[in-house]
Amino acid sequence: MIVDAHCHIWERKWLKGDMVRLMQSVIDELGIENEESIYDGSPDRLIADMDEDGIDKTVVLPLDFEFLYTGGGFSFREFNDFAGECLKRFPERIVAFAGVDPRRGVAAVEELRRCVEEMGFRGLKLWTVTGFVPDDEAYYPLYEEAARLGINVLVHTGLGPGESYLKTCRPVYVDKIAVDFRETNFIMAHVGAPWTDEALAVALKNRNVYVDVSAWQKSHSVFPLAMAQMLSSAKLMHGGMHKVLFGTDWPLFTEIYTQKQWVGCVRDFEHPPALQMMGLPEITEEDKGLILGGNAARVLGLSD
């Protein structure tokens, strides 16, 4: 089973106001020529891409963007509802996380409860690019609710769009909440790049912390050795390849690599001679299977 642990959905008609500026910053940063490859984030396109590319299940991540961006009247609750509709249409293919900003206080707790208990969501997405540091104890009621509900928490770490804040996205801010909420699994998006070593260290220290490789497509297309070193380092540090999840950040990187090509980058991975000389461990066929789906299936409680 192949699981994409990091994906987004949206409708083109929603992208108004600041959200257009946000998308344009991504287009500029990545050098995207076909803008529709990013603007078309419809569930129908997602499922078609999954079918074509052999991806069995995908985690969709609504974004609570309203503390930093205007969305032309489209709210974070409507974004969650849209993910719920997607889950209802494709229950065997979609896993939904709730996009909730912890600064909402009691309303955040209520929204997470609604998404999980009424719509069957399996996780919480924290989009730190909007300007909050996730280990503030003022947000602990939300994490306590996540723990009570028995769900996972995916935290944005590392680089984000140009129209966002970087300083709140350090992987180290996951460490405290991982310690204080030991029964909750935390997934750090993008292996925290450019703070990759920091992200791997947080995952090493905490048995309940994982990383996903979404958004590494651009780096891999330019310098594939960097991702190879990261994976080998993760295996060496963690005593095995049990902490790394496959992710795409669909549809943002589909012009750089299709889903099928990105799966192939992992499936066809070969151990570079330079890493052999450094003594870094080889990524085996078993390791590739864990990255592509085995780890996510275990962490998210999925079945075929």
The residue ranges of every structural domain in the chain are: 3-300
As a whole number, mean pLDDT of residues 185-195 equals 98
Phi, psi of 159, deg, nearest 5 = -60, 145
Q: Which element (helix H / strand E) includes 52?
A: helix 43-53
Report domain 3-300's class.
alpha beta
Return the percentage of the chain with pLDDT > 70, whole number.
99
Contact residues for 109 (Cβ-Cβ < 8 A; gap 6+): 141, 142, 145
Return the percentage of the chain with pLDDT > 90, whole number.
86
Position of tokens 């590739």? 288
pTM above 0.85, yes or no: yes
Interior/surface letters 42-64, b for 16+ CB within 10 angstroms, e for the rest: ebebbbebbeebebbbbbbbbbb
Please name which of 155, 164, 157 lies closest in space to residue 186, comparing C-alpha atoms.
155
The whole-number pLDDT of residue 277 equals 86
The whole-number pLDDT of residue 72 equals 67
Strand order in the sheet with 57-60: 3-7, 57-60, 94-99, 123-126, 152-155, 186-188, 209-212, 244-245
Per-residue pLDDT reduced to its tens digit, 147-187: 999 999 999 999 988 878 899 999 999 999 999 999 999 99
